[in-house]
């Protein structure tokens, strides 16, 4: 009744922002991401008759409130599937320093889904595991399969699931995570998703997404990095335009964020292909080809206000560990 799993964070190339069904975390359109090696969560789940409620520990500290409730929601789903009534002790730790501003619910809920299913004695398919992870956090859906991943929006719990587009070895793309702000994000993505509809730009965004997904897939098939980078950077700005024009407005960027974004434009004019994508925070994920990592890292570290860089290489999805 005990199992341990490890899962990576992922960086979205096509973003998930806004829910068609907020309870089930079903998005309006497909999204695409890459699992990254630099930031993983390891989680152990033990179901035991000695507990009268679920217990959740993160980095040695007991968690309660909304975070623990989300964990319990995933555990309750597993209990329903297995017919068990036992509560669980969950112990989780991140490979990256907590509070580094890159903490990811994706790695956490993907590891939880895989560990909890195994601890409950269920043998679920990868697709089923991705749907269970989704109940904790939408982006966690994509941290279950390996490598480059597509989350198909679907229209029900069973159909909103992720699958691998390409294995990690397919393309040597590196996410140079550029930490400019190490604090907790000010507006949670849960709240952000619920505000998306209030932006007058959101209808236009949704109307463009299916075509954008197809164009990105074509750039990936062709391994056309410049085209890929242009689509990914536009997509991140598109999502941040929704955030900024929501009511109330959500602005995640700091002056250092903008400094990094401006620098990338100058470097591209010099022929160095580096493109930005940002999640719900100020830190910039700079996507480069493997051969350019050292040069880009050196340049990023020389920018005033950049605290550090963390490398995320394409990696496998959530898996059990002994």
Q: Please report which residue ranges of the chain form alpha helices under DSSP H.
A: 66-82, 105-119, 126-134, 189-195, 202-221, 225-244, 255-269, 293-301
Candidates 10-18, 54-62, 177-185, 303-311 — which segment interacts with ligand PMV by CB under 6 A?
10-18
Smallest distance from the beta carbon of 213 to ligand PMV, in angstroms? 12
**And the tokens for 264?**
């990338």
Q: Would you say 142 and 31 are in contact if contact means Cβ atoms under 8 Å apart?
A: yes
Q: Would you say 222 and 229 are in contact if contact means Cβ atoms under 8 Å apart?
A: no
| CB of 116 or CB of 242, closer to ligand PMV | 242
- Which of residues 88, 179, 232, 280 is near ligand PMV by CB under 6 A? 280
CA torsion sign, 90 to 93 to 143 to 101?
positive
Q: Which residue has the tokens 């209808």?
A: 203
User: Residue 105 interacts with ligand PMV (CB under 6 A)?
Assistant: yes
User: Residue 229 interacts with ligand PMV (CB under 6 A)?
Assistant: no
Q: Which H helix or E strand runs over 149? A: strand 148-152
Smallest distance from the beta carbon of 216 to ligand PMV, in angstroms? 13
User: Residue 70 interacts with ligand PMV (CB under 6 A)?
Assistant: no
- By CB under 6 A, what part of segment 21-40 binds ligand PMV? 31
- Which of residues 12, 173, 287, 296 is near ligand PMV by CB under 6 A? 12
**177 bridge partner residues:** 285, 310
Smallest distance from the beta carbon of 15 to ligand PMV, in angstroms? 4
Give the Cα separation of 153 and 140 in Å (integer).
Answer: 13
User: Residue 94 interacts with ligand PMV (CB under 6 A)?
Assistant: no
User: Residue 15 interacts with ligand PMV (CB under 6 A)?
Assistant: yes
Contacting residues for 23 by C-beta, under 8 A, at least 6 apart = none
- Which of residues 54, 150, 235, 279 is near ligand PMV by CB under 6 A? 279
Q: Which of 53, 75, 10, 63 is nearest to 277 (CA)?
A: 10
**48 bridge partner residues:** 87
User: Residue 238 interacts with ligand PMV (CB under 6 A)?
Assistant: no
CA torsion sign, 33 to 31 to 288 to 179?
negative
- By CB under 6 A, what part of segment 176-195 binds ligand PMV? 189-190
User: Residue 292 interacts with ligand PMV (CB under 6 A)?
Assistant: no
User: Residue 197 interacts with ligand PMV (CB under 6 A)?
Assistant: no
| CB of 84 or CB of 92, closer to ligand PMV | 92
| CB of 92 or CB of 105, closer to ligand PMV | 105
Q: Name the phi and psi angles at 262, rounded to 5.
A: -65, -40
Smallest distance from the beta carbon of 292 to ligand PMV, in angstroms? 24
- Which of residues 139, 178, 238, 277 is near ligand PMV by CB under 6 A? 139
User: Residue 91 interacts with ligand PMV (CB under 6 A)?
Assistant: no
x/- map, 119-138, ligand PMV, by CB under 6 A: ------------------xx
Q: Which residues bind ligand PMV (CB under 6 A)?
A: 12, 15-17, 31, 105, 137-139, 189-190, 279-280
């Amino acid at each position: 009744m005990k199992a341990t799993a490890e899962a990576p964070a992922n960086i979205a190339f096509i973003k998930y922002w806004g829910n068609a069904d907020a309870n089930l975390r079903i998005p309006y359109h497909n999204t695409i991401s890459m699992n990254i090696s630099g930031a993983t969560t390891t989680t152990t789940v033990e179901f035991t008759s000695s507990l009268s409620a679920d217990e959740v520990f993160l980095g040695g500290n007991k968690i309660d409130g909304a975070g623990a409730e989300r964990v319990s929601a995933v555990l309750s789903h597993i209990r329903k599937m297995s017919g068990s009534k036992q509560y669980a002790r969950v112990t989780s730790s991140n490979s990256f320093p907590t509070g580094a501003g890159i903490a990811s619910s994706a790695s956490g809920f993907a590891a939880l889904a895989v560990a909890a299913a195994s601890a409950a004695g269920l043998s679920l398919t990868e697709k089923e595991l991705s749907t269970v992870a989704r109940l904790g956090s939408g982006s966690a859906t994509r941290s279950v399969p390996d490598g480059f991943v597509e989350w198909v929006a679907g229209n029900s719990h069973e159909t909103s699931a992720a699958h691998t587009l390409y294995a990690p070895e397919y393309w040597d793309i590196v996410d140079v995570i550029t930490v400019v702000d190490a604090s907790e994000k000010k507006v949670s993505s849960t709240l952000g998703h619920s505000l998306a509809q209030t932006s007058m730009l959101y209808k236009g965004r949704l109307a463009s997404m299916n075509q954008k997904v197809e164009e990105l897939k074509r750039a990936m098939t062709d391994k056309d990095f410049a085209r890929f980078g242009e689509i990914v950077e536009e997509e991140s700005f598109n999502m941040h335009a929704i955030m900024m024009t929501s009511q109330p407005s959500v602005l995640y960027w700091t002056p250092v964020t903008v400094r990094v974004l401006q620098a990338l434009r100058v470097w591209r004019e010099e022929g160095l292909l580096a493109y930005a994508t940002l999640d719900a925070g100020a830190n910039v994920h700079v996507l480069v080809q493997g051969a350019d990592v050292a040069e880009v890292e050196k340049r990023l570290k020389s920018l005033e206000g950049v605290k550090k860089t963390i490398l995320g290489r394409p990696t496998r999805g959530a898996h059990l560990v002994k």
